Amino acid sequence: MKKPFGIKMKVWALGALALIASNTFTSCSDEIPEESRFTFKGKLITDHLKSDEKYSNFCKILKQAKIGKKGGSMLTTLSTYGSYTCFAPTNEAIDNYLQEKYNEYIESVELNKIDPTVKIKNTGITSPYLDQLSDSMAAEIAKNHILEQGITTIDVGNGAFPKKTMNRRSVMLGWINDEQGYTIATVDGIEVEEQNIETENGYIHALKGTLSPSDQPTSTLLASQPAFTLFSEALSLTGFDVYLEKYEIDPDYDGLGKYGPPFKTQNKQEPPYPEAYNQGFTLLVETDELLADANNNAFGISIQSIEDLEYFAAHYYASDNSFNKNEKKWNHKGDYSNPNNPLYKFVAYHIIDRKLLYKSSKGPGGFIMENYQTISKEGEVDKGKFDSEENMPTSFDRYDYFETALPYTSIKITKPFANSTTEYTSVSGETGSLRDQLVANYAQEMGTRCVRKNLMEKHINVVIEDESTTRSRKDLEDFQPQAVNGMIYTIDKILIYDETEMSGNIFDERMRWDVFSLFPELTNNDVRWMPEDATYTLTYIPEDFCKRLRHNNTDTHIYYLRPHNAMYDGGYANYQGDEMLVTGKYDFQYRIPYVPQGSYEVRFGFSASDARGVAQFYFGEEGKLQICGIPLDMRNSESNLAFMGWFDDSENEEENRKDDKAMRNRGFMKAPASIYLGSYDTSKPDKSMRFAKLAFRRIIGTYDLEYGKKYWLRFKDVTEGGTDDKPNEFNQDYLELVPASILNNPAKPEDIY
């Protein structure tokens, strides 16, 4: 029986459910409904915890936990004025946790006595008694339960809290139905007993369990969960289990000294370096149950063994001249660790090159930017901020592209907001709209178009399931999605890469990347989409930090500028609010993303400014870059704007299109009309980025991109003048790759969005 999304709920969760049902979430600056919070005027977090006996165990842990070099206790920290979120486990939750971890440890010890090859499981708990808890484990438990920002469940709605714990781990908020049909909040799958307890220095959320994020790598965590035996075996046979164990890129990275001293910007800021330098992954995986159902694939095969899975994969990944499906023969059959083996390729396409949260509320690390908002500076109007839901309206799809472990391939992830007609029913029986889902390889034309209908119809529009949906699947009631170096997501269809389908459908569109989405290191280390409470606006990107970004000289200084105000009358106009800034006598380059083989127009999005200089572009295959036309003058001057062909739109659309064509002939385009900007004059209406006079697209050229080759864009400062005190800046907002099929279709010309 199908259940509607609208359901009953308990009084204490009423405010949150109303927000979820309407798909709108209140920012943390909005007033919190009275029914969704409790007020203890004058009480701090520790006052409330000490006043309730059910938190006495947690208080003992907080007191024992020493934080920092001076050795102050966490209990003391939470007694100070500031802003914190405390996930407080009850006494019963802590007792159960200690017993469970002790049992895991002692069981492994006994097994090791019988078989020395069995590793002893180091849980950190060698006694079930609280008074025998080590200082290090007390600190570990305490830091797993504290965020250094006060956040309510209503602020988050659904997804990851915008701040990580003091142990640098993400915490996920979800919602489930109990046996009576009421909606209950969960944190990392643990039921919330009481939420949004307000104190003078933050919020408390009482938990019926203890937060204990996995310290296992992605492949090990997957293998520990019984619903993934076949895919886990495939990881092991292909060698990707070892690949998914990577975490620290550089064990000696300290966030500072190795790459030289911080470089001061022209406004004398000393931007911080990224705080960490770690590797991350996202694994999209089919359950055993999904693979075994013959109705779930194009060939009607019940996949119940590695041999079955390799045979299925061979239909797509074996070379045509080697594949004999009747005799089940193909090249490299059974040679699973060979990169040309079909099973190897199948598994590789399920691995994304960064750790992506299902939804990140007002913080870094999500698949797409959603519910991200910056705070207006004091004295500015409310529109002087960046708000993803206002600046990137839901009348347009939101999307991003990510490279996978299968060489020269990418995957598209979409929130198909513009699709209000396609229904979706989850495995749990809940019905809703596809526009509310995260969809991998979303097809063109509202998700209905399919080029290779017989082969690919069941393998496009693949829904990435949220945690609550996954937990409703067989053997996944206790599903854990977050590994120390990655995230695991179930999907509702078998995921396949098909070059013909990708080039003729999924990627047969104008593709747009925020420039900083090109570098997975910035997502993995919390640089991209920095949280709203960050005290800095810039992050310095050291040389060699991103493997696809190369400094060609020591005078190149590259910065990430976090999302900021989006205005069309004097402010900044950016695709996702952030931008790349480069200073110095720069010379750098980056590799463009992998796309299907074909002819593409390459475009560069930027904003003109008095601080900018003149840049020469180069493009081409690695090691063979060629100069691209005349240099680009990025400065803001009347003569420069006239050269680029800027014009004000009129009410005559036919005239506007003629002016667009004339501007294209000069090698420029206006910015996209799908991004909306505010005005410093609040009496004026919002306008699209197309109206931002200083926001442009530069057409670099049209190029044939071949499969199996790497292509790079290089940028070199050729400005005359410039001083050490005021070096000429370089700016990039986004990159566009547009297939020739889009440019050369008079029946359906490219739109202005």
pLDDT tier at 3 (50, 70, 90 boundaries)? very low
Residue 690 has pLDDT above 90, yes or no: yes
Query: Which segment of 27-41, 192-206, 210-224, 622-636 scores lowest on mean pLDDT?
Result: 27-41
Measured at the CA of 122, the angle between CA 118 and CA 128, to 5 degrees, comes to 115
pLDDT tier at 29 (50, 70, 90 boundaries)? very low
Q: How far apart are CA 36 and CA 195, in angstroms?
A: 8
Residue from 26, 156, 21, 25 nearest 430 by CA: 21
Give percent of the chain above pLDDT 70. 89
Q: 173: which strand partners?
A: 159, 187
Mean pLDDT of 704-726: 85
The three state secondary structure string of 696-733 is EEEEEEEEEECCCCCEEEEEEECCCCCCCCCCCEEEEC
Which pair of tokens denotes residue 355? 């750790």
Mean pLDDT of 461-474: 93
Evaluate whether 712 touches 591 at the Cβ level (below 8 Å): yes
Mean pLDDT of 664-677: 95
Query: Which segment of 1-10, 540-549, 618-627, 698-707 scores lowest on mean pLDDT?
Result: 1-10
Radius of gyration of the chain, Cα coordinates, nearest whole angstrom: 27
Query: Which segment of 527-536, 538-547, 612-621, 691-700 scores lowest on mean pLDDT?
Result: 527-536
In this prediction, residue 727 carries a pLDDT of 62
In this prediction, residue 15 carries a pLDDT of 35
564 CA to centre of own chain = 19
pLDDT in tens, 500-536: 999 999 999 999 999 999 999 999 999 998 766 666 7
pLDDT tier at 40 (50, 70, 90 boundaries)? very low
Q: How far apart are CA 63 and CA 57, in angstroms?
A: 10
In this prediction, residue 678 carries a pLDDT of 86
Mean pLDDT of 725-730: 72
Evaluate whether 635 touches 608 at the Cβ level (below 8 Å): yes
Residue 312 has pLDDT above 50, yes or no: yes
Q: Is 197 helix (H, G, I), strand (E, B) or coil?
A: strand
pLDDT, averaged across the chain: 87
pLDDT in tens, 281-300: 999 999 999 999 999 999 99
Question: Tokens 């007390």 identify what position?
Answer: 138
In this prediction, residue 41 carries a pLDDT of 54
Residue from 173, 167, 169 nearest 189 by CA: 173
Which domains are seen in the chain, by residue range? 11-207 (2.30.180.10), 515-743 (2.60.120.260)
Measured at the CA of 201, the angle between CA 197 and CA 203, to 5 degrees, comes to 25
Higher pLDDT, 227 or 262: 227
Beta strands at 202-207 and 84-89: parallel, antiparallel or unpaired:
parallel
Per-residue b or e along 303-331, where b marks 16 or more CB atoms closer than 10 Å to that residue's CB: beebeebbbbbbbbbbeeeebeeeeeebe
Question: Tokens 């930090």 identify what position?
Answer: 545
The string of DSSP codes covering 348-385 is HTTEESS--BS-BTTSS-BSS--S-BPPPPTTS-TTSS
In this prediction, residue 420 carries a pLDDT of 92
Measured at the CA of 538, the angle between CA 533 and CA 541, to 5 degrees, comes to 125
Query: Which segment of 138-142, 259-263, 318-322, 648-652 scores lowest on mean pLDDT?
Result: 259-263
Name the DSSP class of 740: H
The pair phi, psi for residue 745, each rounded to 5°, is -120, 90
In this prediction, residue 717 carries a pLDDT of 94
Q: How far apart are CA 567 and CA 211, in angstroms?
A: 42
Query: Which segment of 219-233, 478-492, 716-730 scores lowest on mean pLDDT?
Result: 716-730
In this prediction, residue 614 carries a pLDDT of 94
In this prediction, residue 726 carries a pLDDT of 59
pLDDT in tens, 334-366: 999 999 999 999 999 999 999 999 987 667 789
pLDDT tier at 68 (50, 70, 90 boundaries)? low
Mean pLDDT of 377-405: 83
Q: How far apart are CA 477 and CA 470, in angstroms?
A: 8
Sign of CA dihedral 45, 50, 54, 60: positive
Measured at the CA of 402, the angle between CA 401 and CA 404, to 5 degrees, comes to 140
In this prediction, residue 157 carries a pLDDT of 79
Question: Tokens 């069941």 identify what position?
Answer: 458
Quickly list H helices, 393-530. 444-447, 453-456, 467-471, 499-501, 520-524
In this prediction, residue 270 carries a pLDDT of 76
pLDDT tier at 174 (50, 70, 90 boundaries)? confident
Residue from 473, 502, 503, 500 nearest 489 by CA: 473
Q: 411: which strand partners?
A: 402
In this prediction, residue 19 carries a pLDDT of 33
Query: Which segment of 162-166, 234-238, 325-329, 536-540 scores lowest on mean pLDDT?
Result: 536-540
In this prediction, residue 36 carries a pLDDT of 37
